Amino acid sequence: MRYLANEQRYTKMEYRRCGNSGLKLPAVSLGLWHNFGHIDQLENARNILRVAFDNGITHFDLANNYGPPPGSAEENFGKIFKDDFTSYRDELIISSKAGWGMWPGPYGDWGSKKYLTASLDQSLKRMGLDYVDIFYHHRPDPETPLEETMGTLDLMVRQGKALYVGISSYQPEEAAKAISILKELGTPCLIHQPKYSMFDRWVEDGLLDVLEQNAVGCIPFSPLAQGLLSNKYLKGIPDGSRAASHRGNGAIDEDHVSDEKINKVRALNVLAEERGQNLAQMALAWILKDKRISSVLIGVSKPEQVLDSLKCLDNYSFTDEELLRINNILN
């Protein structure tokens, strides 16, 4: 049956301006890191994307190596896009990245002009797109000159293969240098995608300040710490969880799910219930409370989880007492 998007899709979503740009992102964006590869069910992926767009999620975030196997998330997204979303292309923000190992040999990893150019060309073919809205360098390269990597991002915009560019997982000093180089080239850095959650707060040690000072957006990934900040771990490691399955590609390590962390999760859950939220909703709200955050990336395995996550928008304000309590639990 032909997909027709919900006519009311823009009524409930909040859209936030991304840095000093004309672009607005939905407060909640959908990441295709897991559950969209060839080992997953295509129809489930299709239903997730439909439910997301029907509820105002206009931003779908991919990377060359998402799957598994690498490349398969983009291939599957391309199939679904062709069937369901071609007529909605101008309402969508589609992003991809390159910077992790993708193919054998010296030209399939890191941040050279050779690798990034080839990777984006491959991504566009897999997804059946003329351009991506945002293209990221996925991680810093300690050996390639930053000028080469950022110069390649600038080139991609000038070639029309990307509308905007960003960086991911750059430390504050690295990010500041990259942002400065892009500014000099005339292609501003739109956004930074860091790992950020209640359990991983490194961005608070300077990165968010760098982004604010340079008017660059921020879109955290892994806001639920690979599912640890959700109800599924309240009773320990459940069957079928990422910790139990060892699927790779970012699956949480069972060693990281300690008794101490489980106890913190339970204490946070008590507060979430007092706020009228489940733990995952509170964890997303906790990130969105900061106005420097342009959007937060969610990863889901079924359509219902999209709807559940969106309830974080019902309440993302915290009292000073609640924030102190959260800090005391985490510390």
CATH number, domain with residue 120: 3.20.20.100
- Which residues 6+ apart lie within 8 Å of 104 measured at CB? none
Whole-number pLDDT of residue 223: 98
| 150-173: pLDDT as tens digits | 999 999 999 999 999 999 999 999
Residue 258 included in any domain: no
Tell me how crowded residue 175 is: count the other CB atoms within 10 A of its CB. Answer: 24
- Please say whether the beta carbons of 41 and 296 come within 8 A: no
CB 217 within 8 A of CB 179: no
Summary mean pLDDT of the chain: 95
Q: Under 8 Å CB-to-CB from 160, ≥6 apart: which residues?
A: 130, 131
Within-domain flag for 251: no
Q: Is residue 71 part of a domain?
A: yes
Supply the Cα-derived Rg of the chain in whole angstroms. 19
Domain count, the chain: 1
Q: Give me the numbers of helices (H) and strands (E) for the chain, helices first please.
A: 11, 10
Range of the domain at 83: 15-228+290-313
Residue 245 belongs to a domain: no
- pLDDT score at 233: 81
Q: Alpha helix (H) ranges present in 9-112?
A: 42-54, 72-80
In the chain, the percentage of residues whose pLDDT exceeds 90 is 91
Q: What is the mean pLDDT of residues 108-117?
A: 98
Q: Are 168 and 97 in contact (CB under 8 A)?
A: yes
State how far the Cα of 290 lies from the Cα of 320, in Å rounded to an integer. Answer: 14
Per residue in 242-300, pLDDT tens? 555 544 445 566 556 888 999 999 999 999 999 999 999 999 999 999 999 999 999 99
| pLDDT at residue 244, as a whole number | 52
Q: What is the largest CA-CA distance in the chain?
A: 53
Residue 23 lies in a domain: yes
Say if CB 228 and CB 199 are below 8 A apart: yes
Kindly report, residue by residue over 48-76, the tens digit of the pLDDT: 999 999 999 999 999 999 999 999 999 99
More confident residue, 260 or 187: 187
What CA–CA distance (Å, rounded) separates 286 from 223?
9
For residues 67 and 74, what is the distance between their CA atoms, to the nearest angstrom? 8
**Per-residue pLDDT averaged across 114-122, rounded?**
98
pLDDT at 254: 59
| Predicted pLDDT at 234 | 85
Are 251 and 240 a contacting pair, CB within 8 Å? no
Q: Judge whether 278 lies within some domain.
A: no
Q: How far apart are CA 77 and CA 21, in angstroms?
A: 27
**203 - beta bridge partners?**
none
Within a domain: 259: no
Residue 166 CA: distances (Å) to CA of 149, 163, 280, 320 = 11, 11, 27, 33
Does 8 map to a domain? no
Question: Given CA atoms 209, 143, 223, 53 in this order, what sign does their dihedral have?
Answer: positive
pLDDT of residue 248: 45
What is the rounded average pLDDT of the residues 92-98?
98
Distances (CA, A) of 26 to 32, 235, 304: 16, 33, 18
Cα–Cα distance, 295 to 301 (Å, whole number): 20
Q: Rounded CA gap, 254 and 249, in Å?
A: 14
